[in-house]
Structure 1
C-alpha cells in the first residue's frame, strides 16, 4: 500500500459528513495540519504490521485520526462531536468512512486497500493544536492491503 495515498483517501471518505444546519462543512486532511479550521478531521499517526500473510501479500495498518471542534460553546461543541462519533446518522464519521469499503468484491479506498474498518473512538477530551484549544476525539481505523505494492 502507498501510505500517503491511503491517508488522503481516508480524508476524502470523511468529507461527505453532513453537519447540522448552520455549521458549514467538515474540513479534512490526510496529514497533521499546521492549523485547522474547525470542525476538522485529519489522519495522524499510524502503526504498521508487515507480513500478515506470506510473500508480502498482506500488511495491516492502524491509523489514529482526530476530529477537532471549536470550543466557542462547550455544550454545542460536544453535541456536534457526539454526532460525528456516532455509529450512524448523517454526521457519523464511521458511516461516511466505511462507505469507502466499496461493494462486495471491490477493493476499499478506490482500489488502494483490501478493506478498512473504523474500530473505535478514544481520547474524548480537550486538545491543544497550533496554540488553539478544541474539544475532540480519536477514531482508530484499521486498513489491510497488499504489502508489496
Structure 2
C-alpha cells in the first residue's frame, strides 16, 4: 500500500492551481505538519479476495485536502476548483489520468484500475492545532492481491 499511496500523491501533483497560489503539497502519508494547500493519503480499507486465488483486492483510499484560511471566500473557491470533476485544478482529473491508456495498468503498474468515487466532509479541520478548510476524496483501487 505504501507504493500505491505514493503513486496517488504523485498523480495529484499534476493539478494546476491559479496563478499566484503556491503549488499543491502532495504526500502519500499523513504529515506531521501541513504546508497548505495540502493533499495527502490517509485512511484506507482493503477488501481481500474479491476473486479466487488472490486474483483481486479492492481498496477504498480516503485522501484529505486541506486549504489555508487567510481569506474564507478565496479558500472556498480554491477548494471548489480542486474538488471539481474536471478542469486544470481538478484532483479527480489528475488522479484518474494515472489510470493509463486502455489495456495498461494504473499507477505505473501498481493497480489494475482506479476511480475517484466521492467527495465528502467539506468543512473545517484541525491538524496539529491549526484550522484548515478541507474535504475528503475517496478513491476506489483494484488490483492483484
Question: What's the TM-score, normalizing by structure 1?
Answer: 0.97
**What secondary structure does 1:49 align onto?**
strand
2:135 paired with 1:143: no
**Aligned counterparts of 1:30 and 1:93: Cα–Cα separation in 2:** 14
**Aligned counterparts of 1:65 and 1:72: Cα–Cα separation in 2:** 23
| Structure 2 residue corresponding to 1:103, chosen from 93, 101, 104 | 101
Aligned counterpart, 1:35: 33
Aligned counterpart, 1:54: 52
**Divergent runs of 4+, >4 A:** none
Matches within 5 A, 1:1-149: 3-147=1-145
The count of residues paired between Structure 1 and Structure 2 equals: 145
Superposition deviation, residue 45 in structure 1: 0.4
Gaps of 5+ in 2: none
Give deviations 1:20-41, integer Å, cap 9, x for gaps.
1100210000010001100000
Question: What's the TM-score, normalizing by structure 2?
Answer: 0.99
Give deviations 1:92-123, integer Å, cap 9, x for gaps.
00000000000000000000000000001000
Gaps of 5+ in 1: none
